[in-house]
Structure 1
């Protein structure tokens, strides 16, 4: 954050008052940090339902689940909150919002008045409604306690069934298989992760998981779970039965927008915000997984990514301090599946031409670009972190490119950025 920006924020900011942030995870904590970094001296109350401060949620399906970390790494140093005058209210549930009175109600506490409010309530695991779904041994993975409970159930040689072949399902399948667990992954669609990675990369990931020893079944729709005192099997609609010592249901997430809906704030698959994070209610903003944010390429949705939550927190902090700068989002995320680091930016699906650079099948770094017209609209990198940093800049800057040059390994990707750099200097 530049000194000039901080000075501008300080000089034009509204008078200090009380900013209440509901949701003490990544998005809420990063908003509080951005406010203090910008010089805001007013009261900040950060309220979270979980009893622990913000932590690295992506580690839940990786290092925490593998037992490499007993606790998920903290987002901020434990003493940062006190040192920066943040009133941290953990293990507290907000029961209602009254936007017209600028007031929130907290379970077992006095109501709290605010001048500005930020909703950073995240998302809930999507529920499955089939017989037997409440049997012991059936897990979800959204919080730290969920990862610890699932870890305790994963023993070498035991059988884990993962229902849902999205990012989290594939990450857990990877971690469990590396720990010696027999893993079967059931996906209702005809390929893994097509919404996030596209069919080409989804198919490649499936092959890598299968090489790792994961049994992948596509078009598998769960009809019921069976068991006496705990889950023993998953039965699919085609009549097939998969034995299970434990089950993970990972079929996506739903924005936790119940408070906003009850308060009359506009919601549509998340809290609708403009490109500064402002909601339909005065002085109320939303950030992170709960916010349906405008996308640069059109449309509006919750992004559910770590990097976008961080970016949105900076945008919302600026708006709270009177320096609103609209920032439509470009989806940006990463994952680790079957020993490969996969990074994504923009939209990999849509019109245009697919251009590949590299060959993952041969073990070399690979980037798959989607070029529409003369702009890169999306890119996915496999084991190509250095190249991805340039690819991300190409997408974000909408730099005109030649598809031929983009796919030519003899052309340095950085050279393709030079027209944008020259234009910026001009």
Structure 2
């Protein structure tokens, strides 16, 4: 037999981690990492958490160029994949070149959702997903006075925080009734809404943008209920769509993502999917698609282990973070299904954590400037350590001590 070849399509957090983990596990074959951007793979969270300037890009790379050479990873930048041919075990690049594989990993990520709004094609109406988007948005923001954000999700709120902290008149419009509807509890959403309003952000919920008006550029936004809002910069932050087209055209199963099994293998043997594009089955039986660096890198390690013959079902407790003003939001677990929230303030009063329970079962901990609670919660949830509402309400409760005691 010849030398095995693993091809990874997508050179962001998940794709780079698959390649790195394969080498860490002494994979003996060739590793080819294909990305369609011109830049070295880079950290994506700072794009919305603290907008990049062009000179910041070099410092945000995931790995230096020397890493790929030292680890014998064939990094192919500016090389979009046009098709997957599972029967022939090869991928076809947009320039017509084909690359054969024994194992294929799809780390194709997701793209910003575009909303069909009249006037959304104006040059100062932007989305935020890639480095080029962040640079353009940063440059536009420097000249802006009135900013409108469509979407009160994580990216929308992080950008609104940057804009408002910089003194811009900032309005956030969302079709739902509260911020971060799919990401946080009602209690945390209320806190974040108050935080943004204290910094001057105006929210319009249960609303949307009917059209964007202006001569050659956006000058105002007209909402669905007829309000006119001045805007010299508009960010469309209406969520993302998983990049499943390559998989679907190759005959792989897709359902709000590329469908994978417990080992993250798709419906085609020897083809895996990881990260934002992968729809996997969680421990509670729900099929999920999670957009986070933790999920991307942990799934990547899981796939690398499967490729070298050490498969282990993916069962990591998810965690997330967001920086908004001086508040660091950290989430461990998933809030859906909770029926009780217990607040625990930090000893110095600078932060708090919400312990979310479904009955007596802890499902999520949402923390603001309470990193100790967050770190303990990740271990408690990840290892299935018992924690009840009574435990949290006990005077002097210390999550780290509880974790150590129950784990012993």
Partners of 1:330 and 1:300 in 2: how far apart? 14
Please list the CA deviations of residues 22-70 of structure 1 after superposition, one character each: whole Å capped at 9, or x if unmatched: 0011100000000001111210110001111211101011333478935
What residue number does 2:193 align with?
206
Partners of 1:406 and 1:15 in 2: how far apart? 58
Counterpart among 121, 139, 144 of residue 152 in structure 1: 139
Q: Is the 8 A contact 2:9 2:15 kept in 1?
A: yes
The alpha-carbon distance between structure 1 residues 414 and 70, as it changes in their structure 2 partners (threshold 3 A), is closer
What residue number does 2:125 align with?
138
Q: Is the 8 A contact 1:103 1:111 kept in 2?
A: yes
Partners of 1:283 and 1:373 in 2: how far apart? 41
The alpha-carbon distance between structure 1 residues 409 and 304, as it changes in their structure 2 partners (threshold 3 A), is farther
Please list the CA deviations of residues 261-310 of structure 1 after superposition, one character each: whole Å capped at 9, or x if unmatched: 00000000000111211000111000110001221233112100011111
What residue number does 2:350 align with?
364
The alpha-carbon distance between structure 1 residues 66 and 81, as it changes in their structure 2 partners (threshold 3 A), is closer
TM-score, reference length from structure 1: 0.91
- Partner secondary structure for residue 195 of structure 1: coil
The alpha-carbon distance between structure 1 residues 308 and 127, as it changes in their structure 2 partners (threshold 3 A), is same
Larger displacement relative to structure 2 (141-150 or 337-346):
337-346
Alignment partner of 1:279 is 2:262: no
Counterpart among 39, 43, 56 of residue 56 in structure 1: 43
Partners of 1:323 and 1:15 in 2: how far apart? 21
- Gap runs ≥5 in structure 2: none
What residue number does 2:235 align with?
248
Larger displacement relative to structure 2 (410-419 or 193-202):
410-419
What residue number does 1:349 align with?
336
The alpha-carbon distance between structure 1 residues 304 and 359, as it changes in their structure 2 partners (threshold 3 A), is same
Query: CA shift at 1:175, angstroms?
Result: 1.0
Partners of 2:349 and 2:222 in 1: how far apart? 37
Partners of 2:260 and 2:378 in 1: how far apart? 25
What residue number does 1:375 align with?
361
What residue number does 2:67 align with?
80
The alpha-carbon distance between structure 1 residues 171 and 106, as it changes in their structure 2 partners (threshold 3 A), is same
Counterpart among 376, 391, 396 of residue 405 in structure 1: 391
Alignment partner of 1:334 is 2:321: yes
Query: CA shift at 1:229, angstroms?
Result: 0.7
Larger displacement relative to structure 2 (149-158 or 109-118):
149-158
Query: CA shift at 1:109, angstroms?
Result: 4.1
Counterpart among 303, 317, 332 of residue 304 in structure 2: 317
Q: Is the 8 A contact 1:162 1:250 kept in 2?
A: yes
Partners of 1:336 and 1:321 in 2: how far apart? 37
Partners of 1:171 and 1:351 in 2: how far apart? 25
Q: Is the 8 A contact 1:25 1:53 kept in 2?
A: no
Q: Is the 8 A contact 2:83 2:93 kept in 1?
A: yes
Please list the CA deviations of residues 98-152 of structure 1 after superposition, one character each: whole Å capped at 9, or x if unmatched: 1111010001142111000000000011110121111221000000000000111
Partners of 1:372 and 1:162 in 2: how far apart? 34
Q: Is the 8 A contact 2:262 2:281 kept in 1?
A: yes
The alpha-carbon distance between structure 1 residues 314 and 70, as it changes in their structure 2 partners (threshold 3 A), is closer
Larger displacement relative to structure 2 (224-233 or 345-354):
345-354
TM-score, reference length from structure 2: 0.95
Partners of 1:236 and 1:363 in 2: how far apart? 40
Partners of 1:201 and 1:409 in 2: how far apart? 23
Partners of 1:81 and 1:284 in 2: how far apart? 23
- Gap runs ≥5 in structure 1: 1-13
What residue number does 1:9 align with?
none
Please list the CA deviations of residues 151-208 of structure 1 after superposition, one character each: whole Å capped at 9, or x if unmatched: 1111366111111000000000111222222211111111000210121111110110
- Partner secondary structure for residue 194 of structure 1: coil
- Partner secondary structure for residue 238 of structure 1: coil
Partners of 1:239 and 1:153 in 2: how far apart? 26
Query: CA shift at 1:16, angstroms?
Result: 4.6
Partners of 1:67 and 1:184 in 2: how far apart? 26
Partners of 1:420 and 1:155 in 2: how far apart? 51
CA RMSD of aligned residues (A): 1.9
The alpha-carbon distance between structure 1 residues 62 and 373, as it changes in their structure 2 partners (threshold 3 A), is closer
How many residues are treated as equivalent by the alignment? Answer: 408
